[in-house]
A and B are shown apart, each in its own frame.
Chain A
Amino acid sequence: MKFLYIGIVVVVVVTLRLWMFRARRKRRATEDQVPGATHDRMVKSPLLGSARARIGRAVGEPLGTVGIIAMREITERVRGRILRVGTLLILVVVAAAIVIPTLDSSSGGLTAQTVGIVGPLSPQIEQVVNSAAKQDQDSVRFVREPSITAAKAALRSGRLDFTIADADLVLLNQPATSSSSPADPTLVQDVAEYLGVVRAYEAAGLTRAQAAQVDQAKAVPVHTLQPGTKTKSKAVSIIGLVLLFFMLTQYCTWILIGVMQEKSSRVVEVLLATVRPIQLLGGKVLGIGMVALGQATLVLGFALVLGEAVGSNLLHGAEPVALLAELLWLVLGYAFYCWVYAAAGSTAERQDQVQTLVLPLSIPVLVGYVFSITVASSGKPDLLFKILAYVPLTAPFCMSVLVSLSQVTWWEFVLSVLVSLAATVGMAIFAARIYRRAVLRTGGRVKVRELLAGSAH
C-alpha cells in the first residue's frame, strides 16, 4: 500500500513539473511571436487577476497601507523562482526522511522464512511458530533436517533462514540483527522466547491443559494517577530543529536583502514620501512572514500526510503539541529576528555589504541551533540550556526542544513566549528607528553608532 502512496506523490510532483515546464515553453513560444505578449497576458489573465484580487481583498484592504505593501511582497515572493525551488527541495528532503526508513524490509512487510527442524517438532510448537510468524507478517516453511551438522550446512548455504534444534535451541548463521542475515529478528526472538516458556512449563510439571491455561492469562488492568512521559522521537525533534534553523535563516535573509534592494534601487525614497517607515517595514515583515508561515504549514502538513500514508514510524511518538510548538516558535523567532535583519539591511546598499552583515547576525541563531541539536540528541538539558530557553535570541530552538522532551511546564512555556513577545516589541521599535535613519543614507555602509548618535538624513 505504501508503494502506491509513494507512487501517487511522485506522479503528482512529476506531472506538476511537466505542466509548469510545458506552460513556460508555450509562453516563451508566444512571446517570440508577439513581443511583450507574455507580460500582458500575465497582467490581464482573468484567472490570475481574480485570484490575486481575492487575496488582495483578504490581505490588502483590512490592513490598509501595510496590507498593500504585504500583498506586494507575497506576490513577488510567490512569483519568484527561489521560493518554488526552495519549497520543492524541502519537500523532497522531508519525503526522503519519512519514506526511506520504511523501505527497509526488516522493519515490516511479508517475509518468507525457511525454518529447519532437527529432532521432533510437536504440533504445539509448530502452531506457536506459525502464529508468531503471522503476527510478524512472515510466512513460514518448515524443512526437516536429519542432523545438526546437516542443518549447519544448510544455514551456511542459505537454504535455511534459521533452525530449531530439539525444541530447545535456535541456530542461525549470523546474528538475526545483522543486516546480511536473512532471518527476521523479531520472529527469531519470539520463537526463542516461546521455546523457553515451553521448557519452563515442562520443568514445572504443568500438564498441557494447565500450560494452555497459563498461556491464555490476561494482564490485570493498570491505572495511573497522572499521565506519564511518552517516548519521544529524537529524529522528529532534530528534523524540526533543522527545518526551524533553515527557514528562520532563509526568511530573515529575505528581509535583509529586500530592505537592501529597496535602498539600492532608491525606490525607498519614493515609497517613504507617501508611507511611514514603520508601515513600509511592517508590510514587508508581514508579507514575508505570511509566505514563511504558508511554506512551513505546507511542509508540516505534507510530512504528516505522507508519514500517515506510508506508515512511517518517524512521526509516531511525536505529540502534535510538540510539532505545533515548533511552528509557534518559528513564528515567534521570525517575529523577533526579522526586525534585527531589517535594521541591518537598511545600513547596506550592496551585496558584499550584506554578506559581511549576515555572519555576525547568524551567530546567536547558530548558538541556539547547535545547543539544541546536542540536547535533543542526549535528551538531557542542563541549567544553561534551560536559561537559554527564556532568552529571545535562542528561545525558538531551546524551548522547542524542551517541549519535545516534555521538560517544561505550561507556565514556563507561556513565560518564555511572553518574554519573547516583549523583546520583539522592543526590537521592532529600535529597528524602526535605525531603519528610518539609515535607509535614506547612501554612499557606503552606515555605522550603527552614527545612527544612534545622529538624527535622520
Chain B
Amino acid sequence: MASLTFENVTKRFDEVVAVDDLDLHIVDGEFMVLLGPSGCGKTTALRMIAGLEDITEGKLLIGDTVVNDVDPAKRDVSMVFQSYALYPHMTVHRNIESPLLVRKYHADGPDRPARKLTRAERNERVAEAARVLGLDELLRRKPAALSGGQRQRVALARAFVGRPQAFLMDEPLSNLDAKLRAATRLELVDLHRRVETTVVYVTHDQVEAMTMADRIAVMSTGRLQQVGTPQEVYEAPANLFVAQFIGTPPMNTLDGTLGSDGIDTGAGVVPVPPHLAGRLEGGRKLVVGVRPEHLTLTPGGPLEMAVRAVEWLGHECLVFGTTGGADAVVRQTGMAGVAAGDTARVAVEAADVHVFDPDTTERLA
C-alpha cells in the first residue's frame, strides 16, 4: 500500500498537452476514480503512474519516492487493462502466476531482503487469488475458452496476486454487458475492501465513479476540474463542466440576472440560494443550475416550461421541455400529469439552486 502524488505533472505528446499541470494526492488505501470524457487525459495520467508514459514536467511520487525515472517493473504497481491483456498462450494459472515469476518479494517480512518466491509459495498465492475471484475451476483453461467476465476476473487476479502498492484500472468494465458490469462493480468494491490497496480507476462512466469511488477526480481537456467524494462532486460541483458531466440527465442551466426578488431568468424568477443571500451585487449576470430532481411541476411555480416530451420509466418520469429558451428536464416520481404540447409551471427550492459565474464557469460559494 502506498499513497500516490502528482506534483504539477504535465504530459505533452509533441505539441498536444494531454495532462496539464496535474496536482493530485491519492491517499493510501483510497479508491480514486479518474473521471472524464475521452481525451481528457485520465488514461495518460494512469499510464504515467504505471510508468508506461514518460512525464514531461513535474514529479510523480509513490509513497515518498519520486518515481519519474523508475522502471515500470520496479514501481510495484499492477494494472488491469481495458482489453484485459491476458497472455493467450498461457493457462489461467500461468497468467495469474506471471508477476510472481519474475519479481522479488519481501516474503520473509519487510526487514528481510526481497527474494523470488518458491514454487510452493507461488502456487499458494495463485490458489488464493483464484479462490477470491471464483476461478478455481478454470485454472487449466486458456483465455480463449473463457467468457468476457471470466477473463476480466483473471486480469484482476493477476493484478492483485503480487499484492502491489497500487492497482491501476483502465476502464476494466467497458467490455462487459450491462448486467455483468453492475455485478462486477459491487465485487470490485468488495475486493478493494478486502485487499485494502490503493486503487486508481479510470472511467468515463459516471455511474461507476459514483458507486465505487472514495473520491472522484473529474478531468477535462487535460486539466483537473474537481476532486471530492461522490457526494461533494454531485452536490457542490466546482464548475459548470462538473455540474453537467455528473448526473443523468445533466443539470439544467439558465442564464439570469440578479434582481431584487431573486435571479431573473426570462422564464421566471429563481430564488437565490441561502449561502449567497445578500452577498452578490444586484444586476450581476449569473448562470443558474438546478438538477432535474429538484425541479417540481406545481401549478403556482415561478418558471414556465413548454413541455416537448414525457418519458415514463416506471419508477420515475422525465419531462423534457424548454424554459426561457434553454432545454430543461424535470425528474419526478410517479406520473407526470402533463403531456407534450402543454405549458407547465415549475418550482425550485432556494437550497437546491447552484449559481455559477458566466465568465469563469466557476461555482459561486
Do chains A and B interact in one complex? no
A contact set with B: CB distance below 8 Å: none
